[in-house]
């Protein structure tokens, strides 16, 4: 494992998804997603992607607005790095890589359910009668 | 057990077959059950049932499209119809043959079912409203379709049996609407086995959105007041202390099935593998296609409590032909093909023999088997009058968050248009409020994510956007009652057979003007509701969708409800119906048909409760016949 | 038809003898025979002891939950099902102890700071021979669970503490009988409203007994002790099959099956280890949770600290919920179930979150916060 890229993956994932690094770690999906991105992309393009992401993170010294601006300009456009940034976002939010569910765990940890105030259908059930109340997170 | 001749041979282990098997075996009859699906699926021991069900669940998690059949094996030897196979039909000479059903059109039939142990209740939703008294008299009251050969009130005791066996949660007092009053429709003091499933926060949001002001809508110059009813349903909740029935039993003396009384509190039936799992609905929000804890009723729960000392089950046995004696017209056996693995063409033939035969293979399959065997069809009604609820969906964004994607698929319905004089002109409908956002029509929320990301959103902006729109999603169903029409039918054609050489059903299907008018009417009602609720309408229909109609220049889409009904209708005379009021075929003294195929009309209720009531009626008739 | 598993196995309770021989009752401080039977004093002691009983039942729950939640999803199915059902039964015991306390006019206190043990800890009221931790599922932790549920095998002894949960409850049982006798049954108020009833309980064996009179209270105690220890050494009936698919047996034996990776077979004796078919126990499919984590291990406000804090807030919400439910609003327990699930998902998130040292994971700390 390339520890630099791994660290960059986690940090840039946090900016791409809007979730904190701790939240992402708590899903247990950092390693499998890192591996999925590694295994499904041209290593050269991916290398440039991580380089660019690391540069963005280093140059802006944690200034969020600046980082977001740079991400929007240099990672998000489809012309950049085969759309890896979008793939990463979709992976985190839906657990799908392309049209495929990556794994049982990725299905259960998809962030979209969290932002919806819900839970993945068929998993993490919230208990009898929970649906009659607003979600606890609200 | 293993004997040469059983009292009764049953085909199919869905709710119809399982209720039949349980009732007969408990009355001491020897029963053989033929089931087309895999052996693993019928496991009744803890370990086997658990392992098999976990396999279904895992398949579901990993399925890209989580359609009703996604958790379950689809076998070339006993294929299931699947909604993923719905495709445009170029013209009637070239049907769509993508899936198991051969769709001759003009529009594709939109529902599926599951051919495997436990049948379609594995992926049903479990909504169980009763039909209305007027539903039994469509010809008399409204001059359309046909009357049933008996009234709602004749069926009442059997409804109570069905509600006991399925284990209904609901509040009788809250059952209101056109043609429904608690005492009139349910009898004084009647209660369901379990208290009502709590209505969702989304339901409450909608009910309260007009701040106590009642909502009225206008249709054909008539005003209707919108009301809301907590839907009775077959999933576990808190036992109702006042419920005092134990179960259904055969009373030899009176020659009747009876509900036995008890002082014990009703005990919700848990999962197959652990009686303590699933004693309450836990809000998994995946009832269709699979309830992980089996809090939702499925037919295997019934089959498990049959008297297994009197029951033999042969699985991987696809009934292919019903044999009969040309002289007496009595059925002499059921030929089945027992395959070795679900996808190998190797099979052995067998013949199941009994005194009485019951087909419980679901409406389409029952009709196909009859046609393939050339029996029971002196009325020429076999296969005809295929019906479904044609479900028009409308969707929009609520002004505030109702937090869908939580809880059972639907907990509340709007009964306002279930009955009325308009049934002379167009279909009646029931409107369940859907608890699962826009998932059905748009594949939300996954599609919401990809749309937003496609627009370049990321980070906090993306997160805020999604947490604003997804919790505000509203989806309403307008489940329109299709009438029996002879041209909507199941046929067979030697050109279309499956891997074992069994006929595939050929479906002819269309939406009549009666249905089209109801789409128009329902859309008008939806528009007025959205206005009253202050909901931003996002409904969009497309002629690209194979299931569309164009009426007065406008396109409407509909979906199937899974309510496959009417292919071997029951009636009071042998010229116009396939079975008599006992659900015995007019043509064969020892052949009974059970399942939704018997229903002369559909009403606006989900059909399974009514069909189960009918199945008890048939079981009673069979017991009488066996004992005389 | 009876081939299938029967619920609420009555045999299990029958393992507890109805008439305890006096000898075994003459132990511990509740039995001071010399003291005159002063109803006020007995009542005071009972109120205290029943509050302790609630505390005692609760104190086993966080350790069991840590073990349960540390098991990785999809593994150790047998252990997961066993521990899950035992935890549900512990909650049942806690609520039944509260029912008894309510029945004699007490007020359960479930959300106070001193209600929550600081782990590592010894069990309230029970002697000091073992320490209970918040720790991951392991052979060592299951060994401690076995000690928690162990049946009374101790010689007579002096001192205030009891040697086993069973012994403690026997003392409570005796006091209840005595007090009922001295007050002509008046001590039981018979009030319906504060009682949590079976409506609110599901998900495992046993039944929730609402307590209106002495017999109810005794039945509740037998249920609690029956499920935990299940068997008294004085009973050894070689003709009675103690184990099997259809028989629900006590916690001790169920933990013992996990410990040995083997089920009991019907002919096994309660004195021996299980010798039936093996069950799969994977001691490695476990999150490497830090032993007895504490919020104070971390800088206040740091992201993982915040997660632990969130967990503890949910835990407090749950205790508040149970407190209110046991103080006159039983129907609130329905919401409690939702909080339980929320607690679980938060705990599992912690177990996936790295904690300081390489390879260690955070975990639920079950601390009082406000
Ligand atoms: C998505 C969906 C949701 C639904 N929701 C509801 C609802 O909320 N409320 C409601 O009332 N209804 C609902 N339904 C309808 C309900 O599921 C069916 O009405 C009911 O399950 C039919 O039961 P059955 O026993 O007649 O047939 P099935 O359950 O379809 O069982 C037929 C059985 O026969 C077997 N079989 C088939 N062919 C052969 C053969 N040739 N040889 C041997 N065995 C064979 C099959 O394997 C199966 O076991 C829903 C349906 C769907 C698809
Ligand atoms: S909501 Fe969940 S637990 Fe309840 S019936 Fe549906 S799937 Fe089962």
pLDDT of B546-605, one tens digit each? Answer: 999 999 999 999 999 999 999 999 999 999 999 999 999 999 999 999 999 999 999 999
**Is the Cβ atom of B360 under 6 angstroms away from ligand 1?**
yes
pLDDT mean over B127-153: 98
Distance to chain B for C210, nearest Cα, Å: 15
Query: Do B278 and B426 share a structural domain?
Result: no
Kindly report the protein residue whose alpha carbon is nearest to atom 2 of ligand 2. B284
Q: Is residue B63 part of a domain?
A: yes
Structure token digits, residue C284: 């490695």
Q: Select from B285, B288, B297, B410 the residue to mutate for testing ligand 2; criterion: most ligand atoms less than 8 Å from CB.
A: B285
Asked if residue B87 is part of any domain, the answer here is no
pLDDT at C4 over 90: no
- Alpha carbons within 13 angstroms on the beta-carbon side of residue B318 total 30
Question: Could you give the CA distance from residue C54 to residue C131 in angstroms, rounded to a whole number?
Answer: 19
Residue C5 has a pLDDT of 42
* Residues near C223 by beta carbon (within 8 Å), at least 6 away in sequence: C13, C93, C96, C206, C207, C209
- Dist. CA B124 → ligand 1 center (Å): 8
Chains contacting A (3 or more CB pairs within 8 Å) = B, C
Judge if ipTM > 0.90: yes
Short-list C122, C153, C103, C120, CA closest to C55 = C122
The CA distance from B238 to the nearest CA of chain A, in Å, is 10
Are residues C203 and B307, on separate chains, in Cβ contact within 8 Å?
Answer: no
For B279, which of C5, C202, C245 is closest by C-beta distance? C202
> Is B499 within a domain?
no
Report whether pLDDT(C23) > 80: no
Task: Identify whether residues B381 and B408 lie together within a single domain.
Answer: no
User: What's the B168 CA to ligand 2 centre distance in angstroms?
Assistant: 14
Minimum-distance ligand 2 atom for the alpha carbon of B408: 1
Contact (Cβ atoms closer than 8 angstroms) between residue C34 and residue C92: no
Q: Does A22 contact C338 at a Cβ distance shorter than 8 Å?
A: no
Which residues, 6+ apart, have CB-to-CB distance to C21 below 8 Å? C234
Domain boundaries, chain A: 3-116
Domain boundary among B500, B526, B557: B557
Are B460 and B587 in the same domain?
A: no
Domain that holds residue B435: 197-231+390-480+512-557
Minimum-distance CB partner of A26 among C338, C340, C353: C353
Question: Distance (Å, rounded) from C-alpha C4 to C-alpha C1?
Answer: 7
Q: What is the per-residue pLDDT for B553?
A: 97
Torsion sign, CA atoms C320, C325, C331, C336: positive
What distance in angstroms lies between residue B200's CA and the mean position of ligand 2's atoms?
13
pLDDT category at C22 given cuts 50, 70, 90 is very low
B26 part of contact set with chain A, CB < 8 Å: no
Considering every ligand atom shown, identify the ligand nearest to the alpha carbon of residue B603 and give its number: 1
Report whether residue B295 contacts ligand 2, using a CB cutoff of 6 Å: yes
B338: confidence class by pLDDT, cuts 50, 70, 90: very high
CB < 8 Å to B434, chain A:
none
Digit-coded pLDDT (tens) for B34-69? 999 999 999 999 889 999 999 999 999 999 999 999
Q: Which residues pair with B572 in a beta bridge?
A: none
Q: Which of B50, B238, B275 lies closest to C199 in CB terms?
A: B238
Ligand nearest to the CA of A123: 2
Neighboring chain A residues of B460 at a CB cutoff of 8 Å: 18
Predicted local distance difference test score (pLDDT) of residue C174: 92
CA C180 vs. chain centroid, Å, equals 26
Residues of B in contact with A119 (CB under 8 A): 285, 405-406
Interface of C with A in 284-323 (CB under 8 A): 303-304, 306-307, 314
Q: Tell me the percentage of chain C whose pLDDT exceeds 90.
A: 60
pLDDT tens profile B198-249: 999 999 999 999 988 999 999 999 999 999 999 999 999 999 999 999 999 9
Any atom of ligand 1 within 6 Å of the Cβ of B352: no
pLDDT in tens, C58-101: 999 999 999 999 999 999 999 999 999 999 989 999 999 999 99
Residue C5 to residue B46, Cβ atoms within 8 A: yes
Q: Are C339 and A105 an interchain contact pair (Cβ–Cβ within 8 Å)? A: no
pLDDT at A1 (0 to 100)? 63
Low-confidence ranges of chain A (pLDDT < 70): 1, 138
Binary contact (C345, A127; C-beta < 8 A): no
Quick check: CB of B435 below 6 Å from ligand 1? Answer: no
* Cβ distance of C245 and B268 shorter than 8 Å: no
| Yes or no, beta carbons of A115 and B64 under 8 Å apart | no
CB B13 within 8 A of CB B299: yes
Per-residue pLDDT tens digits for C205-251 = 778 999 999 999 999 998 888 776 554 543 444 455 666 666 777 88
Q: How many CB atoms lie within 10 A of CB C10?
A: 9
Determine if ligand 2 sits within 6 Å of the CB of residue B559: no
Q: How far apart are alpha carbons B213 and B199 in whole angstroms?
A: 20
pLDDT band at C21 (very low <50, low <70, confident <90, very high): very low
Whole-number Å distance, alpha carbon B127 to ligand 1 midpoint, is 14
Query: Per the CB < 8 Å rule, is A22 touching C353?
Result: yes
CA A42 to chain B, closest CA, distance in angstroms equals 22
Residues of B in contact with C88 (CB under 8 A): 276
Within a domain: B365: yes
Ligand 1 pocket test, pick from B10, B12, B358, B479 with the greatest ligand atom count within 8 Å of Cβ, gives B12
- For the domain made up of C37-286, the CATH class stated in words is mainly alpha
For the Cβ of B123 lying below 6 angstroms from any atom of ligand 2, the answer is no
Nearest CA to ligand 2 atom 4: B281
Which chains share 3+ C-beta pairs under 8 angstroms with B? A, C
The reply to whether B261 falls in a domain is yes
Residue C153 has pLDDT above 60, yes or no: no
Q: Tell how far the Cα of B186 is from the centroid of ligand 2, in angstroms.
A: 26
Sorting pLDDT into bands at 50, 70 and 90, what band is C18? very low
Please give the distance of CA B509 from its chain centroid, rounded to a whole number: 19
Pocket lining: B367 vs ligand 1, CB cutoff 6 Å:
no
| C-alpha distance from residue B502 to each of B369, B570, C158 (Å) | 9, 26, 81
Instruction: Calculate the average pLDDT of chain B.
Output: 97
Nearest-CA neighbor of C18 among C151, C177, C156, C241? C177
In a domain, B247, yes or no: no
Q: How close C296 gets to chain A, by Cα (Å)? A: 18
Q: Encoding tokens for residue B395?
A: 């969707």
Residue B13 lies in a domain: yes
DSSP B326: T
| CA-based nearest distance B406→chain C, Å | 12
What average pLDDT does chain C have?
A: 84
User: Of B439, B438, B409, nearest to B295 (Cα)?
Assistant: B409
- CB of C359 less than 8 A from some CB of A: no
B334 CB contacts (<8 Å, ≥6 apart)?
B9, B11, B34, B319, B321, B322, B323, B351, B352, B357
Encode pLDDT of C95-125 as tens digits.
999 999 999 999 999 999 999 999 999 887 7
Of C2, C3, C4, C88, which to mutate for an interface test with B (greatest number of B Cβ within 10 Å)?
C4
Span B410-426, average pLDDT:
98
CATH number of the structural domain spanning residue B161: 3.50.50.60
Residue B269 has pLDDT above 80, yes or no: yes
- Sequence-distant (6+) residues with CB within 8 A of B531 are none
* pLDDT tens for each residue of B429-449: 999 999 999 999 999 999 999
Q: Say whether both B13 and B70 belong to one domain.
A: yes
| B574 CB-side CA count, 13 A | 9
Parallel/antiparallel/unpaired status of strands B6-11 and B354-359: parallel
SS3 call for C286: strand
What backbone torsions phi and psi does residue B402 show, to the nearest 5 degrees? Answer: -105, -5
Mean pLDDT of the region B463-470: 98
Q: What is the pLDDT of residue A99?
A: 92
pLDDT top residue among B257 and C242 = B257
Please tell me the distance in Å from B293's CA to the nearest CA on chain A.
Answer: 9
What confidence tier does C10 reach under pLDDT thresholds 50, 70, 90? very low
Residue B91 domain-assigned (yes or no): no
Q: For chain C, which residues make up each domain, given as ranges? A: 37-286
Number of domains in chain B: 2
A54 CA: distance to closest CA in chain C (Å): 22
Same domain, B449 and B525: yes
């Amino acid at each position: 494992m390339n520890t630099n890229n791994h660290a960059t993956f986690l940090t840039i994932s946090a900016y791409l998804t809007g979730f904190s690094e701790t939240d992402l770690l708590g899903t247990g999906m950092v390693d499998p997603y890192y591996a999925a991105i590694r295994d499904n992309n041209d290593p050269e393009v991916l290398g440039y992607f991580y380089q660019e992401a690391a540069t963005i993170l280093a140059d802006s010294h944690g200034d969020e607005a600046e980082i977001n601006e740079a991400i929007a300009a240099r990672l998000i456009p489809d012309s950049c790095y085969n759309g890896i940034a979008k793939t990463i976002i979709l992976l985190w939010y839906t657990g799908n890589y392309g049209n495929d569910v990556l794994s049982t765990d990725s299905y259960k940890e998809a962030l979209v359910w969290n932002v919806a105030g819900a839970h993945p259908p068929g998993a993490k059930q919230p208990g009898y009668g929970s649906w009659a109340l607003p979600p606890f997170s609200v | 057990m293993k004997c040469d001749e059983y009292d009764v041979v049953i085909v199919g282990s869905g709710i119809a077959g399982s209720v039949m098997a349980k009732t007969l075996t408990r009355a001491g009859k020897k029963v053989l059950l033929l089931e087309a699906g895999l052996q693993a699926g019928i496991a009744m021991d803890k370990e086997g049932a658990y392992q098999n069900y976990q396999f279904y669940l895992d398949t579901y998690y990993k399925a890209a499209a989580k359609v009703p059949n996604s958790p379950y094996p689809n076998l070339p030897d006993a294929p299931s119809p699947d909604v993923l196979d719905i495709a445009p039909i170029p013209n009637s000479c070239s049907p769509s043959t993508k899936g198991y059903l051969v769709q001759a059109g003009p529009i594709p039939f939109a529902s599926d079912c599951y051919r495997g142990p436990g049948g379609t209740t594995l992926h049903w939703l479990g909504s169980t409203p009763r039909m209305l008294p007027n539903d039994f008299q469509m010809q008399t009251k409204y001059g359309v379709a046909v009357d049933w050969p008996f009234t709602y009130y004749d069926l009442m005791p059997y409804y109570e049996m069905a509600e006991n066996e399925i284990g209904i949660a609901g509040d009788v007092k809250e059952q209101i609407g056109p043609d429904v009053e608690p005492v009139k429709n349910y009898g004084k003091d009647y209660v369901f086995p379990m208290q009502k499933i709590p209505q969702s926060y989304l339901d409450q949001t909608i009910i309260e959105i007009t701040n106590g002001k009642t909502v009225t809508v206008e249709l054909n110059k008539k005003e209707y007041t919108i009301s809301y009813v907590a839907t009775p349903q077959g999933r576990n909740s808190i036992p109702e202390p006042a419920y005092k029935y134990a179960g259904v039993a055969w009373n030899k003396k009176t020659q009747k099935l009876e509900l036995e009384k008890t002082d014990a509190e009703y005990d919700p039936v848990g999962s197959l593998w652990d009686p303590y799992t699933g004693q309450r609905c836990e809000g998994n929000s995946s009832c269709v296609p699979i309830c992980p804890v089996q809090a939702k009723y499925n037919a295997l729960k019934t089959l498990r409590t049959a008297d297994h000392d009197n029951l033999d089950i042969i699985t991987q046995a696809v009934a292919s032909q019903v044999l009969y004696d040309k002289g007496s017209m009595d059925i002499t056996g059921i030929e089945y093909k027992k395959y070795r693995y679900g996808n190998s063409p190797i099979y052995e033939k067998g013949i199941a023999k009994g005194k009485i035969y019951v087909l419980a293979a679901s409406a389409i399959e029952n009709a196909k088997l009859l046609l393939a065997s050339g029996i029971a069809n002196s009325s020429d009604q076999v296969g005809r009058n295929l019906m479904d609820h044609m479900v028009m969906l409308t969707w929009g964004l609520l002004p505030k968050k109702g937090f869908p994607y939580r809880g059972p698929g639907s907990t509340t319905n709007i009964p306002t248009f279930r009955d009325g004089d308009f049934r002379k002109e167009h279909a009646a409908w029931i409107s369940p409020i859907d608890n699962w956002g826009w998932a059905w029509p748009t594949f939300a929320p996954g599609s919401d994510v990809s749309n937003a990301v496609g627009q370049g959103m990321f980070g906090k902006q993306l997160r805020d956007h999604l947490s604003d729109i997804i919790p505000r999603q509203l989806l309403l169903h307008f489940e329109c009652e299709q009438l029996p029409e002879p041209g909507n039918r199941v046929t067979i054609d030697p050109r279309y057979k499956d891997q074992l050489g069994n006929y595939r059903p050929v479906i002819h299907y269309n939406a009549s003007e009666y249905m089209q008018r109801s789409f128009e009417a329902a859309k008008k009602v939806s528009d007025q509701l959205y206005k009253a609720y202050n909901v931003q309408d996002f409904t969009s229909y497309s002629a690209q969708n194979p299931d569309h109609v164009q009426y007065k220049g406008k396109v409407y889409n509909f979906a199937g409800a899974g309510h496959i009904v009417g292919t071997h209708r029951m009636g009071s005379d042998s010229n116009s119906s396939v079975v008599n009021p006992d659900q015995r075929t007019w043509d064969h003294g020892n052949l009974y048909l059970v399942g939704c195929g018997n229903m002369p009309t559909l009403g606006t209720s989900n059909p399974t409760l009514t069909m189960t009531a009918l199945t008890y009626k048939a079981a009673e008739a069979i017991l009488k016949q066996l004992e005389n | 038809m009876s081939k299938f598993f029967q619920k609420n196995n009555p045999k299990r309770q029958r393992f507890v003898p109805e008439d305890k021989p006096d000898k075994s009752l003459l132990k511990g401080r509740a039995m001071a025979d010399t003291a005159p039977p002063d109803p006020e004093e007995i009542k005071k002691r009972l109120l205290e002891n029943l509050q302790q009983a609630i505390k005692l039942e609760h104190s086993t729950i966080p350790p069991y939950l840590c073990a349960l939640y540390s098991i990785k999803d999809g593994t150790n199915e047998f252990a997961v099902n066993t521990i899950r059902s035992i935890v549900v039964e512990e909650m049942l015991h806690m609520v039944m102890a509260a029912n008894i306390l309510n029945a004699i006019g007490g007020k359960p206190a479930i959300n106070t700071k001193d209600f929550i043990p600081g782990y590592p800890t010894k069990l309230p009221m029970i002697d000091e021979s073992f320490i209970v931790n918040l720790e991951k599922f392991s052979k060592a932790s299951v060994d401690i669970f076995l000690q928690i549920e162990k049946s009374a095998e101790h010689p007579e002894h002096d001192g205030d503490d009891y040697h086993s949960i069973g012994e403690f409850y026997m003392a409570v049982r005796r006091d209840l009988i005595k007090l009922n006798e001295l007050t002509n049954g008046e001590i039981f108020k018979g009030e319906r409203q504060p009682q949590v009833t079976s409506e609110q309980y599901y998900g495992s064996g046993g039944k929730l007994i609402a307590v209106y009179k002495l017999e109810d209270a005794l039945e509740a105690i037998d249920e609690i002790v029956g499920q935990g220890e299940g068997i008294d050494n004085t009973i050894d009936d070689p003709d009675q099959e103690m184990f099997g698919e259809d028989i629900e047996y006590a916690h001790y034996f169920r933990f013992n099956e996990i410990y040995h990776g083997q089920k009991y077979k019907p002919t096994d004796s309660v004195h021996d280890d299980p010798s039936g078919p093996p069950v799969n126990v994977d001691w490695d499919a476990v999150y490497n949770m830090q032993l007895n984590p504490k919020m104070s291990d971390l800088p206040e406000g740091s992201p993982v600290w915040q997660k632990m804090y969130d967990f503890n807030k949910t835990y407090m919400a749950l205790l508040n919920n149970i407190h209110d439910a046991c103080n006159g609003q039983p129907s609130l327990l329905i919401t409690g179930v939702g909080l339980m699930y929320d607690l679980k998902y938060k705990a599992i998130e912690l177990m996936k979150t790295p904690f300081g040292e390489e390879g260690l994971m955070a975990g639920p700390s079950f601390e009082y916060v406000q």
